[in-house]
Structure 1
Amino acid sequence: MTRAAEVRFENVTKRYGGTAKAVNDVSFTIPAGTLCTLLGPSGCGKTTTLRMIAGLEYPTEGRVLIGGKDVSALPPAERDVSMVFQSYALFPHMNVLENVGYGLTVSRQPKAKVREAARAALDSVGLSGFEERLPSELSGGQQQRVAVARALVLEPSVLLFDEPLSNLDARLRRRMREEIRDLQQRLGVTVAYVTHDQAEALAISDKIIVMNQAVIAQEGTPRDLYEAPANAFVAGFVGEANRLPATLSHRQGDMAQVTIGSATLSLPHRGAAEGAVQLAVRPEAVELLDVADPATTLRGTVAKAAYLGGLMEYTLTTEAGDVFVIDSHTQRQRGVGEVVGLGLGQRGIAVLPA
């Protein structure tokens, strides 16, 4: 495996038809040897960004650098990157070994070297012994591994994934994302990974870049984005979040008093001015209590309750609005119409900057 390379975008814009901007003045850095996820809804620009790393699209403005080298105008073959597509794009008439070695074969490498490299790549993804099978004889997860092995055999400094798990069922997706993360850490390759699945991004990433309407809404570690969302869009897109009206007062240092309903909390103000604000409250950050202390809790009435095996989901009506709550205490199930207290701490609650 070649040495991992840093990927850097400098004020990159991609236009189609002269005016429509698929990506608008985007700058970011993916450190070498890390896994960075481009996350966002359909049409936000994340796949176009990935294709500009691959060389399948070229920027209208700005620069794309890989390993410190400006590759903005270089074709894919000269970028030292490999891409795993959403469809896997395996050749149905070739067996697994031939599929994995295809890139080396078309570059006219000796047959013995191609076979050796392809077998090593298959071994790295746990598919030794599958060399003679056709793609039609493999499960979805196995086909995905073959696609990864085909990308790895070229020894890229950057490995690109375009929603590689979208064709798999939920249980297999969880297992495959763990395998991709393990492979990236074991090989130390730089990975740029596109998905619209928030749980997938949180589970595997060193860094997440959230995109919305062709620009970066926020970038940071999974914990940064989940616990300190920069705006309402990020709060709602990265995991679940209740957005509730509140009043901020008495700023002192980094902290301020925040009143929500009859309850008053001490929270980091995150630059918000005194006055009306919004809070992002994670569903699992709310503790359901039998007795509501007006000074520290909201009073709520259970409007909906759903048992999901290992947890309960509730919707509660409060003076601050409806609140969605996830409760792991399934032995104590709350009934519709029951009045409870909603305990609010500091963790999982963030003031949304204006």
Structure 2
Amino acid sequence: MSRAAEVRFERVWKCFGAGAVAVRDVSFTVPAGTLCTLLGPSGCGKTTTLRMIAGLEYPSEGRVLIGGRDVSGLPPAERDVSMVFQSYALFPHMTVLENVLYGLTVSRRPRREAEAAARAALEGVGLAGFEARLPSELSGGQQQRVAVARALVLEPSVLLFDEPLSNLDARLRRRMREEIRDLQQRLGLTVVYVTHDQAEALAISDKVIVMNRAVIAQEGSPRELYDAPVSEFVAGFVGEANLLPATLRGLDEQRAEVLLGEARVVLPRRGLADGAVRLALRPEAIALVPAGEPGAMLRGTVSKAAYLGGVFEYTVDTSAGELFVVAPSAGVAHRAGDQVGLRFGTHGTTLLPGDGALA
């Protein structure tokens, strides 16, 4: 039975040396039994945040709470958390079963009880029958499962993952992220997961916390971050986005007409005043149509075209600027030099202030 616990940060800072701030005044809550991803570029503070949950780093200021208990100054062994590292950190001289047993052995669990728990954990990650193998005899995905089993067997209230799929190829990454999500939901675990891979974060998370330059840029569900980014950074980091200067003319409190080159489009106003704004335009929200077709909002010239199997990727020069467009490969194929019209969908088209961030 799950003992999932809530994780909460209250105005946490982490400083290294003179003036080096890794995490700046960060507050958030991970509800018990959910999967929350810390997402951001290298150096944004996400791994330091994860290490403060694990007890591998201590906050310079603020509080870290797990299950309502202040653990800010407690060592890792007293926090009831387990961590799966990027390198898996398996003992090469131990068998799969011995690796999974290790934590239980250290905690002096009776041998028979510990072995039964280890075998159950291996069965839970699909590795029954692999107990006698060494890590060197396993694939990357199998090693990752052993690392997960070793963490799960301790029955932690919080399970932490530090970029666990970065060493795997693309196809295996997809399969393993699905397995981690299935495991989390089946067992009702609280999971905090660190990655810089946007697709990975969107695919598995209940909640995503986007970090940039030691602070939280935005937090919310994957769909909230994708459909309603609050800044240019989030719009550009969570998926692709064309970021373009535009002009807003308010129609009422809720809607605005947006001028982008010769294009006119009506969008949710998002509380913005008339004048200069920025438009975040997802590549898949743009449809290419024959030049001169009625309903085209902009005209352009294809400067680059690439076939990627399921989709075409185009770069199109327009009066509003250069646009990156993703179109289904089942549609009409365009080549560099083709004249095209462009239509925008309202889904995937979002207004941002002229300075690039909503308050």
- Relative to the length of structure 1, the TM-score reads 0.98
Instruction: Tell me the secondary structure at the aligned position of residue 41 of structure 1.
Output: coil
AA aligned to 1:106 is: V
Contact 1:263 1:294 in 2 (8 A): no
| Whole-angstrom distance in 2 between the partners of 1:251 and 1:84 | 52
Q: CA RMSD in A?
A: 1.2
Aligned partner of 1:163 in structure 2 is 163
After superposition, the C-alpha distances for 1:2-32 in whole angstroms (9 at most, x for unaligned) are 4211100000000111421100000000011
CA displacement at 1:330 relative to structure 2: 3.6
Instruction: Tell me the secondary structure at the aligned position of residue 112 of structure 2.
Output: helix
Contact 1:262 1:295 in 2 (8 A): no
Aligned partner of 1:180 in structure 2 is 180
| Whole-angstrom distance in 2 between the partners of 1:292 and 1:153 | 64
CA displacement at 1:296 relative to structure 2: 5.4
Aligned partner of 2:101 in structure 1 is 101
Aligned partner of 1:23 in structure 2 is 23
Instruction: Tell me the secondary structure at the aligned position of residue 72 of structure 2.
Output: coil
Aligned partner of 1:325 in structure 2 is 325
- Relative to the length of structure 2, the TM-score reads 0.97
After superposition, the C-alpha distances for 1:53-107 in whole angstroms (9 at most, x for unaligned) are 0010000000001111111011111111000000000000100000001000011
Aligned partner of 2:315 in structure 1 is 315
Aligned partner of 2:297 in structure 1 is 297
Matched, 1:228 2:231: no
Aligned partner of 1:201 in structure 2 is 201
Aligned partner of 1:140 in structure 2 is 140
CA displacement at 1:292 relative to structure 2: 4.0
| Whole-angstrom distance in 2 between the partners of 1:69 and 1:331 | 56
AA aligned to 2:183 is: L
CA displacement at 1:294 relative to structure 2: 8.0
CA displacement at 1:336 relative to structure 2: 1.1
AA aligned to 1:66 is: I
Pairs within 5 Å for 1:327-346: 327-346=327-346
Contact 2:304 2:336 in 1 (8 A): yes
CA displacement at 1:352 relative to structure 2: 1.3
AA aligned to 1:72 is: S
| Whole-angstrom distance in 1 between the partners of 2:292 and 2:17 | 59
Aligned partner of 2:274 in structure 1 is 274
Contact 2:303 2:317 in 1 (8 A): yes
Aligned partner of 2:265 in structure 1 is 265
Identify if the C-alpha distance between structure 1 residues 99 and 315 changes in structure 2 by more than 3 Å, giving closer, same or farther.
Answer: same
| Whole-angstrom distance in 1 between the partners of 2:154 and 2:111 | 15
| Whole-angstrom distance in 2 between the partners of 1:143 and 1:67 | 30
| Whole-angstrom distance in 2 between the partners of 1:54 and 1:188 | 19
| Whole-angstrom distance in 2 between the partners of 1:293 and 1:6 | 55
| Whole-angstrom distance in 2 between the partners of 1:292 and 1:168 | 47
CA displacement at 1:345 relative to structure 2: 2.0
| Whole-angstrom distance in 1 between the partners of 2:313 and 2:303 | 11
CA displacement at 1:263 relative to structure 2: 1.3
Instruction: Tell me the secondary structure at the aligned position of residue 233 of structure 2.
Output: helix
AA aligned to 1:307 is: Y
Instruction: Tell me the secondary structure at the aligned position of residue 181 of structure 1.
Output: helix
Pairs within 5 Å for 1:30-179: 30-179=30-179
Identify if the C-alpha distance between structure 1 residues 4 and 302 changes in structure 2 by more than 3 Å, giving closer, same or farther.
Answer: same
| Whole-angstrom distance in 2 between the partners of 1:25 and 1:214 | 9
After superposition, the C-alpha distances for 1:155-194 in whole angstroms (9 at most, x for unaligned) are 0010000000000011100100000000000000000000
CA displacement at 1:335 relative to structure 2: 1.5
Contact 1:312 1:330 in 2 (8 A): no
In structure 1, the gaps of 5 or more residues are none
AA aligned to 2:227 is: E
| Whole-angstrom distance in 2 between the partners of 1:331 and 1:223 | 26
| Whole-angstrom distance in 1 between the partners of 2:121 and 2:20 | 41
After superposition, the C-alpha distances for 1:227-284 in whole angstroms (9 at most, x for unaligned) are 1111000011111000111100124122111011111111112122211111110000
After superposition, the C-alpha distances for 1:295-332 in whole angstroms (9 at most, x for unaligned) are 75111100000111111000000001000000004441
AA aligned to 2:156 is: P
Contact 1:264 1:295 in 2 (8 A): no
AA aligned to 2:17 is: G
Pairs within 5 Å for 1:235-246: 235-246=235-246
| Whole-angstrom distance in 2 between the partners of 1:251 and 1:161 | 47
Aligned partner of 1:211 in structure 2 is 211
Instruction: Tell me the secondary structure at the aligned position of residue 252 of structure 1.
Output: coil
Moved more, 330-339 or 24-33: 330-339
Instruction: Tell me the secondary structure at the aligned position of residue 3 of structure 2.
Output: coil
| Whole-angstrom distance in 2 between the partners of 1:111 and 1:71 | 30
CA displacement at 1:219 relative to structure 2: 0.4
AA aligned to 1:98 is: E
Contact 2:12 2:23 in 1 (8 A): yes
Which of structure 1's runs of 4+ aligned residues deviate more than 6 A?
none
After superposition, the C-alpha distances for 1:37-63 in whole angstroms (9 at most, x for unaligned) are 000000000000000000100000000
In structure 2, the gaps of 5 or more residues are none
